[in-house]
Structure 1
Amino acid sequence: MTDTNEAEQRARRRAAVNGCDKVLSDGKRPSLRERLSQLQVEADAAYDLDGPPDVYGDGVVAELERRTAGLLGTADAAFFPTGTMAQQVALRCWAGRTGNTTVALHPLSHPEMHERRALSALTGLRSIHPTRERRLPDAEEVRGLDEPFGTLMLELPLRDAGFVLPTWEELTATVDAAREREAVVHFDGARLWECPPHFGRPLAEIAGLADSVYVSFYKSLGALSGAALAGPAELVDEARAWRHRYGGLLFQQWPAALAALAGLERELPRLESYVAHAKDVAGALAQGLAGEPWSRVHPSIPHTHQFQVWLPYPAELLDEAALRQAEETKVSVFGGNRWFAAEVPGVSVTEVTVAASALEWTAEDVTEGITDFLRFVRRELPYPAPPARTSPVS
């Protein structure tokens, strides 16, 4: 697809979803004017807007850092314009402190999948993989690594495996195993905010297992952009120095910081309800897909408020079916999310995010919506649909 066609499709998706009466996954995408109006209202409740804008990280940015450290129970936190930069800096700092440039992490983790090999290109770090299973490494796999490593990085949840999490007992055992290997532990907690319901532990207790934690403000919290690296004061001080070297010390960042503070006020208290409702949504989707061969809702019981849906059709066909459902019925199950080819030939996968717009959907609404979506899928098929099975795949 050319850049022009891609832009046209993106505009069509946005118009289709924003024209819907009901959107299950991810919600509608506001215009720039709507986003500015929303930010002014929400930020007014989160911070004193009569104060001056920030200058090189003071003011509202410093306040965001203070609140983030308080929520995570760490000594300090530093704001970064991107999570990629925050994580690169964290792993670089730990390599210098441990004297070991090897990082143990999952091959589906963000630095391996979405950062263009920045670990090696920018910092000279090297990665090793304790496991290739579609889950985080367990304690025995960490103990069994046949070479030393300075840092174990754990992505909580592991997005590209289906937003999956270990149990609390498994997580603590894995952390203990890393410490036995005299390694430090860093959490890629871009979506750590929604993990407490799964673990049954408060946010600060989860973050307290690691030596450092990165969190995102636009993922889950709905901010414009930005991230934070939290941990011991000495580490965060060093991270601020590297942030400057990496070009991350911006003159003013108040829009991003205000949106992050608003997200902490507005979305953080709601995440528990989103996680609970995601279980109902996933169950209803599985019921609606029960007769569809090779379909899968993964995990069958979501660990957070996000999960995957797998279907045995080309991604382009599923994208078109989603668009036509939105345009013709004013109801969208998958929102603006795209479908992508999965590892299994002939199968595609998409992500479902259960947030504010999904709370009005009952289980019956979800089952009806996915059943209707399949009708649009079959309408797009150039060949007869495969025979239905009698039992669902979880």
Structure 2
Amino acid sequence: MSDTAEHGTGRTTEPAATPSAARRRAAQRAAERILARPGVQGTIRERLAALAEAAPDVYDLDKSADMYGDGIVEALEERVAGLLGKEAAAFFPTGTMAQQVALRCWAGRTGNPVVALHGMSHPEMHERNALERVSGLRPVRLTSDPRLPTAEEVRDLDEPFGTLMLELPLRDAGFLLPSWQQLTELVEAARERDAVVHFDGARLWESTTHFERPLDEIAGLADSVYVSFYKSLDGFAGAALVGPRTLIDEAKAWRHRYGGQLFQQFPTVLSALVGLDRELPRLPEYVAHARVVAAALREGFAEAGVPWARVHPEVPHTNEFQVWLPYGADVLGEAAVRQGEETKTLLFHRGWVPGGPGLSVTEVGVRAEGLEWTADDVRAAVTDFVARVAEAGER
């Protein structure tokens, strides 16, 4: 979880300026052992140096810089469209803008402004009601329970809707993905209602292991898909919307109207191309090892005598998952930071937030750094962490 509610779980986290948040960031940077070290944790100098080193391998730097979406931007768009098996793609500065534009375009084409979605999806949790206030759309919740919607809920929705939006994976519910059969049934149910299907695929890149399908086959179920470049792929920012060429042409017109036609974007686009080259091929390895880490966490908490603990989902669907423990968020946050400060091993590098009476939750992500951890390493870190929880609770 991040230090702000915008990219968190919808629950309140401490502001970025509080001492505990600053201490956590310092512990992240100083940690010698950590499960994930996203580039966002680096300094400006470090991020620029890494980009300068990698950029010559992904694009000819002697070509002219982009202007208003040409050149390198078009190269990225073509590559992403190919990866996802769609006719065309449009680069956007943010995923929020990309999805609002996509849903607005579909509403115009279907003649129906109603968007059926999950109550824990990103537009409902983190966009300040932008679908209604900016785009004139009307979201209708299939469910708000911390689970995936069902095909029956799509079929039984008591009013017509023009678009079904599915967030894959559903981050705030625990990075959940349906089975392939469930996903195809959801899409079929929408088709039966004469609706189009849009995938919020911010983290779709890491779904191939769970679905046992290539990206283009997964994306092929939907009429349009949005993907992010800064989450799984560790880019600076940015997103892409893919779909039929006529839709993408219209989306680019709306991108201009929404203020997304930036003069130059080559640093961000270069970082996205680097992510596609370096991170995308490694995501299946991260997902596989996340399952090893999750199992070791469950075992470690049981061995340490924690009265109740939950790793959710029990077998992670992606390389990210939730951990729930029966302690206050302040106690768990203090124990996590102290472990990093005192041992240079940071088991939980994201913040803890209240998840209900007597419960707190955090998110765990596994990237390249986490591949060095064995199951024994995880269990040993859990034992040390639980001891620090007891100490923090006594203060």
Two-structure CA RMSD over aligned residues (Å): 1.6
Work out which of the residue numbers 18, 38, 47 in structure 1 matches 2:29.
Answer: 18
Alpha-carbon shift at residue 180 of structure 1 (Å): 0.3
Percent identical across equivalent pairs?
A: 63
Match of residue 377 from structure 1:
389
Work out which of the residue numbers 63, 74, 82 in structure 2 matches 1:51.
Answer: 63
* 1:230-251 superposed Cα distances (whole Å, 9 cap, x missing partner): 0000000010000000000000
- Partner of 2:288, secondary structure, is helix
Work out which of the residue numbers 361, 364, 372 in structure 1 matches 2:376.
Answer: 364
Match of residue 101 from structure 1:
113
- Partner of 2:17, secondary structure, is helix
Alpha-carbon shift at residue 123 of structure 1 (Å): 1.1
Work out which of the residue numbers 198, 204, 214 in structure 2 matches 1:186.
Answer: 198
- Seen in structure 2, the aligned counterparts of structure 1 residues 235 and 286 have a Cα distance that, compared at 3 Å, is same
Distance in 2, Cα, partners of 1:274 & 1:319? 25
Which runs of structure 2 are paired with 1:98-247 in the superposition (5 Å)?
98-247=110-259
Distance in 1, Cα, partners of 2:105 & 2:321? 33
User: One-letter code of the match for 1:6?
Assistant: A
User: One-letter code of the match for 1:319?
Assistant: G
* 1:122-174 superposed Cα distances (whole Å, 9 cap, x missing partner): 01111112223322211111101111000000000000000001100010011
Q: Is 2:317 the partner of 1:306?
A: no
Work out which of the residue numbers 341, 354, 364 in structure 2 matches 1:341.
Answer: 354
- Of residues 128-137 and 266-275 in structure 1, the stretch that sits farther from structure 2 once superposed is 128-137
Does the 8 Å CA contact 1:135/1:165 hold for their aligned counterparts?
no
Alpha-carbon shift at residue 116 of structure 1 (Å): 0.6
Distance in 2, Cα, partners of 1:118 & 1:249? 19
User: One-letter code of the match for 2:342?
Assistant: E
The number of aligned residues is 381
Q: Which runs of 5+ in 2 are unaligned?
A: 1-11
- Of residues 129-138 and 170-179 in structure 1, the stretch that sits farther from structure 2 once superposed is 129-138
User: One-letter code of the match for 1:77?
Assistant: A
Alpha-carbon shift at residue 51 of structure 1 (Å): 1.1
User: One-letter code of the match for 1:301?
Assistant: V
Alpha-carbon shift at residue 31 of structure 1 (Å): 1.3
Does the 8 Å CA contact 2:114/2:160 hold for their aligned counterparts?
yes
* 1:15-64 superposed Cα distances (whole Å, 9 cap, x missing partner): 21211211124457221111111011111111111111110001111111
What TM-score do you get using the length of structure 1 for normalisation? Answer: 0.94
Distance in 2, Cα, partners of 1:272 & 1:43? 23
Distance in 1, Cα, partners of 2:56 & 2:118? 41
Distance in 1, Cα, partners of 2:166 & 2:267? 30
Work out which of the residue numbers 261, 267, 270 in structure 1 matches 2:279.
Answer: 267
- Of residues 198-207 and 312-321 in structure 1, the stretch that sits farther from structure 2 once superposed is 312-321
- Partner of 2:260, secondary structure, is coil
Match of residue 94 from structure 2:
82
Match of residue 392 from structure 1:
none
Distance in 2, Cα, partners of 1:309 & 1:182? 39
Match of residue 5 from structure 2:
none
- Partner of 1:225, secondary structure, is coil
Alpha-carbon shift at residue 12 of structure 1 (Å): 2.1
What TM-score do you get using the length of structure 2 for normalisation? Answer: 0.94
Does the 8 Å CA contact 2:201/2:228 hold for their aligned counterparts?
yes
- Seen in structure 2, the aligned counterparts of structure 1 residues 326 and 162 have a Cα distance that, compared at 3 Å, is same
- Of residues 65-74 and 3-12 in structure 1, the stretch that sits farther from structure 2 once superposed is 3-12
Alpha-carbon shift at residue 256 of structure 1 (Å): 0.5
* 1:314-344 superposed Cα distances (whole Å, 9 cap, x missing partner): 1122111111000001100012x111111x2
* 1:194-247 superposed Cα distances (whole Å, 9 cap, x missing partner): 001100110000000000000000010000000000000000001000000000
* 1:163-195 superposed Cα distances (whole Å, 9 cap, x missing partner): 001100010011000000000000000000000
